Amino acid sequence: MIRIGIYGYGNLGRGVEHAVRRSQDCELKAVFTRRDPASVKIATQGVPVYKADEAAAHKDEIDVLILCGGSANDLPVQTPEMAKYFNVIDSFDTHAKIPEHFANVDAAAKAAGKVGIISVGWDPGLFSLLRLYTNAVLPDGSDYTFWGKGVSQGHSDAVRRVEGVKDARQYTIPVESALERVRSGENPVLTTREKHTREVFVVAEEGADKAVIEEKIKTMPNYFSDYDTTVHFISEEEMKRDHAGIPHGGFVIRSGEVGDGTNKAVIEFSLKLDSNPEFTSSVLLAFARAAYKLNAEGVTGCKTIFDIAPAYLIDRTGEDTRAHLL
């Protein structure tokens, strides 16, 4: 059994806990939290909850530690620090800072003889994998990534900071006609506005000026000004009833030429997820399995999904996968 630790017990940590329960070859050994452990009730009976700053003391009890914190402040510090003691997995998703994060985790993991796999999830993650595979097989072509329909936490938070807004939920929606143009093999050049629309559901404070709120949202730079945005005002009850989930998904499409250029190929990958964090957690656990196997073979240092042969991700033998999945 691969002994798994969870570091950070929010939506992602709870998702990893469920993913472990769905596996045959992994067991949950401990949860680490920055909150008071006594206040954290987990779903798995008999598994201890420890304070995060005591994690190092448990290094011999855990094969892979899955880091479930945020990319902005948690992971840049936590992943390299924990790589001193554990094989680690994270879902670091600040694309621009991946090279720096990679270097930090690589140095720590190599020094400790551990494996760290960073930026695991679906984007970065499965979407990145598809971008690499499709670029490798279609070198002459164009890449397209569409996100949604799904909840953007960052955009929802930005709306919540608008004066007079009590609660908000923002959905990113791919434009169907743009998707169809890409699927046709036309290789269009698409502007930001042409690819996605944004739909916002707002619970306004009592007496707030809704017209002003709507105007502030629609003109917000970086977040909304480059998009066609629709704003709906709803009640607190409607927000709870209709917008409690965290769905997401999206599309990676590469369209290119083959042969002498007469013929085209269009490759499309898509996800439709009822729960963004629960799916991300499932991906994290598969790569935790890979980290364990790689480290057992003597591999150390930082890796990304590009470096992991698919066979390492699954709890089945080569004979079995060749006979049944190939």
What residues numbered 124-153 form the site for its own copies, per CB under 8 A? 124, 126, 128-133, 135-140
Q: Decide: 245 and 275 in contact? Cβ < 8 Å.
A: yes
Q: Smallest gap, in angstroms, from Cβ of residue 162 to its own copies?
A: 30
Q: Using the minimum distance from each CB to its own copies, give the nearer residue, 215 or 315.
A: 315
Q: Smallest gap, in angstroms, from Cβ of residue 132 to its own copies?
A: 5
Residues 22-41 that bind its own copies (CB under 8 A): 22-23
Q: Using the minimum distance from each CB to its own copies, give the nearer residue, 85 or 102.
A: 102
Can residue 1 be called a binding residue for its own copies (CB under 8 A)?
no
Q: Which of 56, 77, 258, 296 binds its own copies (CB under 8 A)?
A: 258
Residues 6+ apart with CB under 8 A from 2: 25, 26, 27, 63, 64, 288, 289, 292
Q: Which of 54, 205, 238, 307 binds its own copies (CB under 8 A)?
A: 307
Q: Decide: 270 and 201 in contact? Cβ < 8 Å.
A: no
The total of other beta-carbon atoms located within 10 Å of residue 83's CB is 29
Phi, psi (deg, nearest 5) at residue 200: -120, 135
Q: Using the minimum distance from each CB to its own copies, give the nearer residue, 139 or 298.
A: 139
Kindly list the distances between the CA atom of residue 26 and the CA atoms of 5, 84, 151, 289, in Å, as whole numbers in the listed order: 10, 22, 30, 8
Can residue 286 be called a binding residue for its own copies (CB under 8 A)?
yes
Can residue 298 be called a binding residue for its own copies (CB under 8 A)?
no
Can residue 271 be called a binding residue for its own copies (CB under 8 A)?
yes
Residues 6+ apart with CB under 8 A from 246: 11, 150, 151, 153, 275, 276, 277
- Six-digit token string for 251: 């599309």
H or E segment and range at residue 173? strand 165-174
Binding mask 100-119 for its own copies (x = CB under 8 A): --x----------------x
Of 57-65, 67-75, 174-182, 260-268, which segment contacts its own copies by CB under 8 A? 260-268
Q: Using the minimum distance from each CB to its own copies, give the nearer residue, 135 or 219.
A: 135
- Six-digit token string for 154: 């960052």
Kindly list the distances between the CA atom of residue 238 and the CA atoms of 21, 111, 158, 177, 276, in Å, as whole numbers in the listed order: 33, 53, 20, 30, 21
The site that binds its own copies (CB under 8 A) totals a number of residues, namely 72
Residues 162-221 that bind its own copies (CB under 8 A): 183, 185
Q: Smallest gap, in angstroms, from Cβ of residue 230 to its own copies?
A: 25
DSSP H helix total and E strand total for the chain: 11, 14
Q: Using the minimum distance from each CB to its own copies, give the nearer residue, 122 or 227.
A: 122
Q: Decide: 183 and 266 in contact? Cβ < 8 Å.
A: yes
Binding mask 57-96 for its own copies (x = CB under 8 A): --------------------------------------x-
Q: Smallest gap, in angstroms, from Cβ of residue 255 to its own copies?
A: 9
Can residue 306 be called a binding residue for its own copies (CB under 8 A)?
yes
Q: Which of 88, 273, 288, 291 binds its own copies (CB under 8 A)?
A: 273
Phi, psi (deg, nearest 5) at residue 203: -100, 115
